[in-house]
Amino acid sequence: MNVELAQVGLAELLAGRANDMQPMAAGGERGADAGREHGTPPGNERLLRRIAASFGAVALRRGTMTKRKPLPKPDPTHWTLKPAGTKQYQGTYFRRLEDIEAGLIRIYDSPMPEGGRFLYLYYGCEKLGRGIVGIHNMWDAKDAYDQSQPLHLSKLKTAVASMKLAIADAELDALFVSDDKTTARYWRNTIAHDFGPSNVQHVVNHSAALNGKMRKFLINQTPPVLDFLKKTYAHLLP
């Protein structure tokens, strides 16, 4: 083993920020579940996966893996900031966020159990969160929703404070902290990276409480964001 890489990988592991490295958190849980289901000692499996993740981070830093795209440039006159949701303005933040209400109606009109609604609601919350960050930074909406720009909790909190939205940190933490087994993001990551019967049951068990929090977030916070667009960017309309 390359000792230098091992040392750097260990440093990367210890210094990693859990909220900004959600695959790491999911990977740790994946290792534990893999050990239980396939007979591998959980501690060993978890350690191996963490080391692999550390080497992946080192490789990324050294340019041997695909890098994330640079942050988009702010553009306070970009057309996607226009507070209009008509067909003429498909692709604006306003139109994208208006669709959340229609999505909620469809979710609760459909005969599915709470466990089935969990992922729909989570992705709705992530859509709103990404929109808040993008609006705050005055990005093209297409860039804000690009797969290369993951939602970081710290950036979301900064945007919420700057836009003076009445969203408590605790409300955001309950949805988007990635290393806490009581949060929506933790179980979204776990079910995405380690789908299996035990984790499905965990999601089912947590869904009743988490679904209520996510639905409340979407219902209560989408209108203020739309109002912010109306007040701040009305001058962009013809």
134, part of any domain: yes
Distance, in Å, from the CA atom of 151 to the CA atom of 65, rounded to the nearest integer, reads: 21
pLDDT (tens digit per residue) in 67-86: 667 888 999 999 999 998 77
Same domain, 56 and 107: no
**What local confidence, expressed as pLDDT, does residue 167 receive?**
95
Same domain, 51 and 99: no
Same domain, 146 and 114: yes
**Count: domains in the chain:** 2
**Collapsed DSSP state (helix, strand, coil) of residue 91:** coil
pLDDT (tens digit per residue) in 124-164: 999 999 999 999 999 999 999 998 888 999 999 999 999 99
Distance, in Å, from the CA atom of 157 to the CA atom of 133, rounded to the nearest integer, reads: 9
Same domain, 158 and 187: yes
Token pair 């290369």 in the structure block, residue: 148
Same domain, 106 and 176: yes
The region that residue 178 occupies, defined by phi over 0 for left and psi between -120 and 50 for alpha, beta otherwise, is alpha
**What local confidence, expressed as pLDDT, does residue 68 receive?**
66
Same domain, 41 and 157: no
68 CB contacts (<8 Å, ≥6 apart)? 148, 149
Residue 14: pLDDT band (50, 70, 90) is very low
Distance, in Å, from the CA atom of 88 to the CA atom of 78, rounded to the nearest integer, reads: 15
**What local confidence, expressed as pLDDT, does residue 34 receive?**
42
**What local confidence, expressed as pLDDT, does residue 20 receive?**
42
Distance, in Å, from the CA atom of 219 to the CA atom of 221, rounded to the nearest integer, reads: 6
Angstrom CA distances, 26 to 41, 139, 186, 193, 231, stand at 18, 29, 7, 6, 39
Residue-range definition of the domain harbouring residue 104: 79-236
**What local confidence, expressed as pLDDT, does residue 50 receive?**
55
73, part of any domain: no
Considering the chain, what is the average pLDDT of its residues? 79
Q: In one letter, which amino acid is 175?
A: L
DSSP 72: P
**Other beta carbons less than 10 A from residue 92's beta carbon:** 23
**What local confidence, expressed as pLDDT, does residue 67 receive?**
60
Same domain, 57 and 84: no
**What local confidence, expressed as pLDDT, does residue 46 receive?**
52
Q: In one letter, which amino acid is 150?
A: P
**What local confidence, expressed as pLDDT, does residue 214 receive?**
96
Region 92-120 average pLDDT: 89
